[in-house]
Chains A and B, each alone.
Chain A
Amino acid sequence: MSLMADVNARALALGIPISAQLDITYRCNERCEHCYLDHDDKGELSIAEIKALLNQLAEAGVLFLTISGGEPLLRQDFFDIVAHARSLLFNVKIKSNAVMIRQKEAQRLKNLGVEQVQISIYSDRPEVHDGITKLPGSLKRSIAAIRFLKSQGLKVTMANVLMRQNMDHHLGVRELARELGANYTLDPTITPMMDGNPSTLRMRAPTRVLQETFRDPAVVGNVEEFCAPPLAADDDVMDGLPCSAGHTACYVSPYGDVYPCVQFPLPCGNVRRQRFIDIWKDSPQLKEVRAIRARDLPTCSSCTHVASCTRCPGLAYMEGDMHGPSTADCEKAFVRTGIPTANMLARGINAAAALAGLVQIRLL
């Protein structure tokens, strides 16, 4: 077991939220077509409220803190927030589009001891990237920011969301990351908007693109292993936990709402009305999330993919039932292996039709 896995296992045993994401604003200077957020300010936490929350998160045991948004640098007190977080010895990761990061900001992030900055890059071609962000010049500014951050010795990850608009560009983004000395991640996950509006889902990359991507060693590593037929499920699988959401990780919105994960919009309490630790320990919603086991899932427990599926309970929740299938993960399992999931079969979708693109593997 790696040291990180050991830390997570101990946090789980102790009931400690070792990781948290705090979005400090939903406002943004980009208008990405696939974004799941409502960018209007509905009453953000004040700097005093955020500092008090950070104190509570540190006291609860959070070590890995992601500060995100919206665009977090739009808050004028952004650096005060980061400085307070660092004074509490959080490991801080910033998620940003970076268009407001220049040399001075990069230097401040370095001096504050930020561990890494993750920046969304959709294409190496300005017309495609800027077409998605709706901010002219955004690719040029984000790339300039990456150079500033790298010149300070900061770790940078370029996060490439894969969707219809940029499905032929990920190789270019990966090459750009290599040139800039940045890490690179590719993620085909497009979620509904936080209010449940499914309009963003039409931007999901088509099945054939996922097929090609999942067979690219540069993306998935060992293709044979990644695309291997599903393993048989044993008791460890059936009694195992689906993911860290609500177990060792949580998410707090700019309005103080606590959720199991940024991708799991189940309200569990609000830090304006309760202490964080009381929500974490006593929320009935979090207790329900923590009770989920594979053997209790009506459809997925009988699925041949149950041992290797990446089923996201948050995406399942957004589809209507946190105990149900996550259709996007059904699609990934099918594309990896060519074997239909229990959810697909229950809905009358066979492999030939899905592969031929005759059926969209979508619920919404």
Chain B
Amino acid sequence: MYIARSSAIASRNLGGETIVMSAVDSTLFTLNPVATAIWESADGTTPLRDIVERRVCRDFEVDADAAYQDASSFVQELAQHGILLVSPDPIGESAKLPQQEPR
């Protein structure tokens, strides 16, 4: 499973937590440090399992399988709100970034 941040979001780190706002429906989310680690690694090319092992298990000392299950639920929830893209295949740049069109 691959994950990428949607282009239709606004985001900022606020005291170690990440504030994410959907530009589609103005829904606001706050991500705790574990969720923030996953969010920051959501580049569309790194498998979720690798993100969990490298960022979550290493930094927060949790069991890999349990962490992966929790991470899967988390990314599905964010995907339902359209702020995270989830795909079985790597996700290209054009799907992630705000589009800058020629004049």
B12 to chain A, nearest CB (A): 4
CA distance A113 to B23 in the complex (A): 6
Chain A minimum-CB-distance residue to B24: A153
Chain A binder among B14-22, B48-56, B68-76: B14-22
B103 neighbours in A (Cβ, 8 Å): 79
- Cross-interface CB contact of A108 among B21, B29, B101, cutoff 8 Å: B101
In the complex, whether B45 has a CB less than 8 A from a CB of chain A is: no
Interface size on B, residues (CB 8 A): 23
CB pair A89–B26 under 8 Å, yes or no, is no
CB pair B12–A10 under 8 Å, yes or no, is no
CB pair B12–A63 under 8 Å, yes or no, is yes
CB pair B10–A92 under 8 Å, yes or no, is yes
- Cross-interface CB contact of B15 among A10, A92, A114, cutoff 8 Å: A10
B99 neighbours in A (Cβ, 8 Å): 111-112
CB pair B14–A83 under 8 Å, yes or no, is no
A92 neighbours in B (Cβ, 8 Å): 10
- Cross-interface CB contact of A115 among B19, B26, B30, cutoff 8 Å: B26
- Cross-interface CB contact of B23 among A11, A14, A115, cutoff 8 Å: A115
Q: Which residues in window 111-152 of A have CB below 8 A to B? A: 111-116
A13 neighbours in B (Cβ, 8 Å): 15
CB pair B98–A61 under 8 Å, yes or no, is no
Q: B: which residues have CB within 8 A of A?
A: 7-15, 19, 21, 23-24, 26, 28-30, 97-101, 103
Can you name 9 A-B residue pairings with CB atoms under 8 Å? A7-B14, A10-B15, A63-B12, A64-B10, A87-B98, A91-B23, A111-B98, A115-B10, A153-B24
Q: 4 smallest A-B Cβ distances: which pairs?
A: A91-B10, A86-B98, A63-B12, A111-B99
